[in-house]
Amino acid sequence: MRRICKDERRIQSVNSSEEMAVSGMSAGRSAMRMGPAELVQAAAMARRFYLEGKSKIQIAEEFGVSRFKVARVLETALERDLVRIEIRVPAELDAERSDALRARYGLRHAVVVESPAEAEESPDPENLGEVAADLLGELVTEGDVLGLAWGRSTIHMAAALDRLPPCTVVQLTGVYDAGTAERGSVEAVRRAAQVSGGDAHPIYAPMLLPDAATAAALRHQTGIARAFEYFDKVTVACVSIGSWEAGISTVHDMLTEEERAHYASLGVAAEMSAHLFDAEGRRVGRDLGERCITVKADQLRRIPEVVAIAGGQRKAAAIDAVLRSGLVTSLVTDTAAADALLMAGPAPRSALNRTDPDDALRA
């Protein structure tokens, strides 16, 4: 019994000495070059830990050392650049801005794409559509109903799609010009349905009609009515955002000068799917919706995942306004817009708090 105790004291003494030696490495041996045996052992331990997923205790048992030495060797391997830990995403993605934007607006997903220097002022660079297509490939699951609203960015997204689980695809708005439907939203819906192998429900009608009566009559047409029946079933939607200026807002371009001036006087700062918003995200000009073939704002608010695709510094204020509306849960944008958004005033409420901003005024 006395001999066992002596052995135990010897083992404890060895371990203690080893721990003291290891703890002193940074002050002593870490300043010296590691010998070949030490390098080989450190590399082997690092391989076991980082690549093979073994615990420090398992490594200690394999090499006949204490777990404290293993911990110190792994630390030294990092200090000596034997091991490099990198968090890498594709070069076109900006992970830091993405995370900052997600946190600022309380989004479910925010993906920021590097914008080409020569295109920083241009709205909606085409590469946004490519990244949005990959994001939809992640978000859409089998049996979902995917809704696509009119917009250049959603058209680019649909063209870039190469994978989607089986799902139904429905058009959420009419088109800018019925004569270009084959090259616009209708084709985007068909393309997405073709990739997914699901049913397509396009809308062969303009987004904006001359009056409410004409719009109401079109909504009752068989094909359009069938698409509208799916609006309450949409689980993932993809929308575009427009600034209230020529060439960057579909609705702006479709209105007369007198109508533009009228809605501008109401403080419109952005539009999305033919809905107008002021800088605080409140809807304005609701009468316009009566003339439009589009999904209702309340229906958008009930869709679990609404992905907006919009970029460019010129659209930053419009993106901010729409994010404040509570209608959007995720965003694909570029660095030019992201930088402006991250520097814009006080942080808004979480985008996932999907109540209507007007409710706060009425309360």
Q: How do residues 43-66 score in pLDDT, each as one tens digit?
A: 889 989 988 889 999 999 998 999
Strand partners, 110: 331
CA neighbours closer than 13 Å in the CB half-sphere of residue 164: 30
Which residues belong to CATH 3.40.50.1360 in the chain? 93-361
**Rounded alpha-carbon distances, angstroms, from residue 217 to 69, 202, 226, 274:** 79, 17, 14, 18
- The residue among 68, 18, 16, 14 whose CA lies nearest residue 45 is 68
Residue 7: predicted pLDDT: 39
**pLDDT over 50 (residue 196):** yes
Round to whole Å and give the CA distance between 22 and 359: 63
Record the pTM: 0.73
Residue 39: predicted pLDDT: 82
Residue 233: predicted pLDDT: 97
Higher pLDDT among residues 185 and 341, named by residue:
341
Mean pLDDT of 219-230: 94
Residue 185: predicted pLDDT: 77
Mean pLDDT of 335-356: 81
The architecture that CATH gives domain 36-79 is Orthogonal Bundle (1.10)
Round to whole Å and give the CA distance between 48 and 125: 44
**pLDDT over 70 (residue 17):** no
Residue 306's contacts (CB-CB under 8 Å, 6 or more residues apart) are: 236, 237, 238, 239, 300, 327, 328, 329, 330
Which residues belong to CATH 1.10.10 in the chain? 36-79
Strand partners, 305: 236
Angle between helix axes 222-229 and 212-219 (nearest 10 degrees) is: 80
Residue 141 banded pLDDT, cuts 50, 70, 90: very high
Higher pLDDT among residues 232 and 126, named by residue:
232
**CATH number of this structure's domain 93-361, picked from the four choices 3.40.50.1360, 3.10.20.30, 3.30.750.24, 3.40.50.10470:** 3.40.50.1360
Share of the chain above pLDDT 70, in %: 82
Round to whole Å and give the CA distance between 236 and 303: 7
Residues 26-35: contacts with CB within 8 Å, 24+ apart?
26/76, 26/79, 30/76, 30/79, 30/80, 34/76, 34/80
- The residue among 319, 327, 321 whose CA lies nearest residue 300 is 327
**Rounded alpha-carbon distances, angstroms, from residue 329 to 88, 105, 275, 310:** 25, 9, 17, 14
**pLDDT over 80 (residue 9):** no
**pLDDT over 70 (residue 120):** no
Q: Specify the amino acid at residue 179.
A: G
Residue 328 banded pLDDT, cuts 50, 70, 90: very high
Task: Name the one residue in this structure whose structure tokens are 């690549």.
Answer: 51
**Rounded alpha-carbon distances, angstroms, from residue 241 to 85, 180, 248:** 38, 20, 9
